[in-house]
Amino acid sequence: MKELEGIAAGVFMEAAQKAGEAESSTGDYTDGDGLLHCGKCHKPKEKVLEFPGYLDRNGTRRKMKVRCMCDCETAAREKMARREKEREEMQQLQRLRDSSLIESRLREARLSSFVKTRDNQNLYKMAQRYVEKFEDMYKKSQGILFWGTVGTGKSFTAACIANELLDRRIPVIMTSFVKILQNIQGGSVDEAQYIAQLNRAKLLIIDDLGTERNTDYALEKVYNVIDSRYLSGKPLILTTNLTLTEMQEAQDTRFKRIYDRIFEMCYPFRVYGDSWRMGQAAQRFEDMRSILEG
Q: For 102-125, write each residue's pLDDT tens digit.
A: 888 899 999 999 988 888 999 999
Phi, psi of 79 (to 5 degrees): -65, -40
Chain segment 165-215, per-residue pLDDT in tens: 999 989 999 999 999 999 888 777 899 999 998 999 999 999 999 988 889
Which segment of 9-13, 33-37, 228-232 scores lowest on mean pLDDT?
9-13
User: What is the DSSP code (8-state) at residue 127?
Assistant: H
User: What is the DSSP code (8-state) at residue 169?
Assistant: T
**Extended strands (E) in the chain:** 29-30, 36-37, 46-55, 61-67, 143-148, 172-176, 203-209, 236-240, 266-271
Residues whose CB is less than 8 angstroms from the CB of residue 239 and which lie 6 or more positions away in sequence, other chains included: 145, 146, 147, 154, 155, 158, 205, 206, 207, 208, 209
Chain segment 54-104, per-residue pLDDT in tens: 666 776 777 888 889 999 999 999 999 999 988 887 787 678 788 788 888
At 160 the three-state DSSP class reads helix
Query: Count of H helices and E strands in the chain?
Result: 11, 9
Q: Residue 291, class by beta-carbon neighbours within 10 Å (0-12 exposed, 13-18 middle, 19+ buried)?
A: exposed
Report which residue type is found at 228.
S
User: Residue ranges of the domains in the chain?
Assistant: 2-68, 100-286
pLDDT range class, residue 278, cuts 50, 70, 90: very low
Residues whose CB is less than 8 angstroms from the CB of residue 31 and which lie 6 or more positions away in sequence, other chains included: 37, 44
Q: How confident is the model over 146-159, as a mean pLDDT?
A: 93
Report which residue type is found at 285.
F
User: Could you tell me which CATH number the domain at 100-286 has?
Assistant: 3.40.50.300
Q: How many CA atoms lie within 13 A of 73 on its CB side?
A: 17
